[in-house]
Chain A
Amino acid sequence: MSVLSSCNDLDRPGEVAHVGNGELPVVVIRPQQGWPLPDLREVWEYHQLLYFLIWRDVKVRYKQTVIGIAWAILQPVMTTIVFTVFLGRLAAAPSTGVAYPLFVFTGMLPWGFFAAAVGSAGQSVVGNERLIAKVFFPRIIIPLAAVGAALFDLMVASTVLLAMMAYYGVVPTLGIVFVPLIVAILLVLAVGVGSLLAALNVAYRDFRYVVPFFLQLWMFATPAIYTQTSSLTGGVLGAILPLNPAQGLIRNFRSAVLGGPIDVYSLAVSSAVAVTAAFVGMFYYKRTERRFSDII
């Protein structure tokens, strides 16, 4: 929506002026055409705002609750217990020889992060209506902050994973080094899908109802609480499944934590899909963000 340039150097759009030696930054506001690129430099200039919005989301979420931050732990733990009882005991879902609770938890932990991140990012722009209508800042910060707050919860809940691994005597193998990478790609995917949904939600409030439903379907399409047998992971189906980016990421997250083999093919395909989704989402967001304050 605007072009930054330095005071004495007006006709070079795209140039960012640096404040210092008495030079004032110059902003030229004019209508924007076409598909603008997300301006990462501008986002970096506002990194303190990103930090404070994440901090606010985390802080506010657990204000006036009795157990506070423990909710971040309790949620994946409760889901794990439910699935362990109903699927592990009653339905006897086959797992991979790992203790079923640990198996479920290693799926629910990354999925829970992803679902929470996408869900809250999808609502974030509409939820921060007043900020959007009253102050300028790079708009992408809003869904980024929502994903950041979910990442914080993931880190808190990870302590439970460590405790469970210790309890079941699982010794991490070298594969554990993949964990940060997989989480990072999951984060990129969440930002992409979340910002796309957030932008759509501004124009079409229908997405408020679509998102939870869509996440539930996605969860069942992803091996978060079940495993895919070798008949599924081989052949044509095995080649197609990682096109669901959550499939390759969550499957390999589990392997990386529990010391199973990393499936390079599914990890690579899912990562590529995730990065593509991030680009699509962020471009759509950038394209529509200038209309946010008019139509929100």
Chain B
Amino acid sequence: MQPSIRVENLSKRYRLGTRGGYRTLRESVSEAVAAPFRRLAGRASAEPIERESREWIWAIKDVSFEASPGDVVGVIGRNGSGKSTLLKILSRVTEPTEGSVRLCGRVGSLLEVGTGFHQELTGRENIFLSGTIVGMSRKEIARKLDEIVEFSEIGAFLDTPVKRYSSGMYVRLAFAVSAHLETEILIVDEVLAVGDVAFQKKCLAHLQRASQSGRIILLVSHNMSSLQALCNRAVLLAGGRVHAAGEFRDVMATYYRSLLVPAQGASDSTFDAPRAEGMSPIFRSATIVDDQGRTTNFVPLCGIFRLQMTLDLPALDGSGIINVGIDDLLGQRMITIRSPLESPELLENAGKVELECRVDELPLAPGDYWIKVSVRDRTGWLDAVEQAVYFTVGDGEVFDEGRRFLSGRLVVRSRWEQLSRSVEGVI
């Protein structure tokens, strides 16, 4: 018998207001007293039905998907798209309002690092406590104790209360316990982001090994690169519904496109949007043009990059500076290009100014990017426009040298030469 997951039309409704809060007895009593009157009033008008729909919110609605052995499924979506609610239902922490889930195989869920850890208990005691809570038997834990201790790198601190641990040690131990949970189905919510880089690598490798043994892993993470390393399939949630499901690469592409939709549609109004406190609208437009001067959103790999901006420049205090920041779609800054300090004439005259920032060989890997523009003078920042321009760097040959782009985030020119040659057969 193989493990499997089948989710059918799963929906979960929350009442606004009670979510995260709790009622006092007085509220309940007054509500109970008011209810019959409301019902009487309800006969006269359709108002209560409207009221009903305003008070409830579907956290997830009609979610269906399946997973088979060996699948590592990434659940992706923006904040509030219902990812955590879905995992909570699958973990049986909360109950669905409609629909059903059929889980074949033992389910282990890690919705939190260090579930059940108690500050006053020692590392060893917490291994047993937390292990039991997430569903391991005492024998199983005893058998894996050495492995867990080694994985967590806490060594000599095993019998020290965890409240004396550094936060790094604490999360390492916590993750180590969870990671040794050997159920056929594993549900993991955003716990990959613990520890330092070396430890994260170790966790990834551990999960990868786990998936190769035919288990099913369901993951939520905002770290796309670690999801990409692990997942073969994905479910994209948007507004509580399944927006796309299938091969990870396809779903991720859909996700990235969906991120752009609102911003792209609003690109003209981006520059008209009200500015933050202390900023005034100086940037009027920004566009990328190709080598012929035509507006474009595409830059060839290692190609020329020309960003043209229009500014309504006020009188500046001292010389002005413009920053052009390029971010990838995960919001990570790739580079900030700053206007030169020694050319004050660039922003000298108040009034309408047109500028061009030009990079002859853009060193960015193929992919999609956002540009943020900002301007300042001696008094501070005057204007900043996030997601001002969106553009794509195409795939292709690196510097027309007949080599294709392989991997990484940057492209650079390189020169290769032979420094010495050994006699044949001798190293």
The answer to whether A293 touches B93 (Cβ under 8 A) is yes
The answer to whether B93 touches A7 (Cβ under 8 A) is no
The answer to whether A30 touches B109 (Cβ under 8 A) is no
The answer to whether A31 touches B95 (Cβ under 8 A) is yes
Q: Which of B3, B109, B121 lies in contact with A135, CB distance below 8 A?
A: B109
CA distance A130 to B115 in the complex (A): 8
Say yes or no for A272: interface residue by CB 8 A criterion.
Answer: no
Say yes or no for A59: interface residue by CB 8 A criterion.
Answer: yes
CA distance A7 to B134 in the complex (A): 23
The answer to whether A25 touches B133 (Cβ under 8 A) is no
Contact A135-B22, Cβ < 8 Å, known A19-B106, A26-B104, A48-B132: no
Q: Which of A26, A290, A291 lies in contact with B103, CB distance below 8 A?
A: A26
- Using Cβ atoms and an 8 Å threshold, which residues of chain A touch B1? 7-8, 22-24
Segment of A77-85, A169-177, A200-208, A275-283 in the binding face: A200-208
- Using Cβ atoms and an 8 Å threshold, which residues of chain A touch B107? 27, 136
Say yes or no for B273: interface residue by CB 8 A criterion.
Answer: no
CA distance A8 to B26 in the complex (A): 50
Segment of B73-81, B83-91, B287-295, B356-364 in the binding face: B83-91
From residue A218, how far is it (CB to closest CB) to chain B in Å? 20
Q: Which of B94, B125, B128, B129 has the most CB of A within 10 A?
A: B94
Report A1-60 residues with CB < 8 Å from chain B CB.
1-2, 7-8, 10, 19, 22-32, 48-49, 52, 55-56, 59-60
The answer to whether A30 touches B25 (Cβ under 8 A) is no
The answer to whether A60 touches B138 (Cβ under 8 A) is no
From residue A68, how far is it (CB to closest CB) to chain B in Å? 13
The answer to whether B28 touches A136 (Cβ under 8 A) is no
0 or 1 for each of B91-123: is its CB under 8 Å from A? (1 = yes):
111111111111111110101100110101100
- Using Cβ atoms and an 8 Å threshold, which residues of chain B touch A25? 104-106
Q: Which of A8, A64, A135, A294 lies in contact with B111, CB distance below 8 A?
A: A135
From residue A58, how far is it (CB to closest CB) to chain B in Å? 12
The answer to whether B121 touches A202 (Cβ under 8 A) is no
Say yes or no for B184: interface residue by CB 8 A criterion.
Answer: yes
The residue in chain B whose Cβ has the minimal distance to the Cβ of A64 is: B120
Q: How many A-B residue pairs have CB under 8 A?
A: 131
Say yes or no for A296: interface residue by CB 8 A criterion.
Answer: yes
From residue A206, how far is it (CB to closest CB) to chain B in Å? 4
Q: Which of A19, A59, A130, A204 lies in contact with B23, CB distance below 8 A?
A: A204
- Using Cβ atoms and an 8 Å threshold, which residues of chain A touch B125? 59
0 or 1 for each of B1-39: is its CB under 8 Å from A? (1 = yes):
111000000000010001101111110100000000000
Say yes or no for A295: interface residue by CB 8 A criterion.
Answer: yes
0 or 1 for each of B166-197: is its CB under 8 Å from A? (1 = yes):
00000000000000000010000000000000
- Using Cβ atoms and an 8 Å threshold, which residues of chain A touch B26? 206
- Using Cβ atoms and an 8 Å threshold, which residues of chain B touch A204? 22-25, 28
Report A156-208 residues with CB < 8 Å from chain B CB.
202-206
Contact A290-B22, Cβ < 8 Å, known A7-B104, A56-B121, A135-B111: no
- Using Cβ atoms and an 8 Å threshold, which residues of chain B touch A59? 120-121, 125
CA distance A97 to B100 in the complex (A): 66
The answer to whether B93 touches A63 (Cβ under 8 A) is no
Q: Which of A10, A55, A136, A206 lies in contact with B93, CB distance below 8 A?
A: A136
The answer to whether B103 touches A29 (Cβ under 8 A) is yes
The answer to whether B101 touches A206 (Cβ under 8 A) is no
Say yes or no for B343: interface residue by CB 8 A criterion.
Answer: no
Say yes or no for B137: interface residue by CB 8 A criterion.
Answer: yes
Listed from nearest, the 3 A-B pairs whose CB atoms lie closest are A136-B92, A30-B100, A29-B101
> Can you report 10 residue pairs joining A to B where beta carbons are below 8 Å apart?
A7-B104, A24-B105, A29-B102, A48-B137, A59-B120, A130-B116, A132-B93, A135-B111, A294-B94, A295-B22
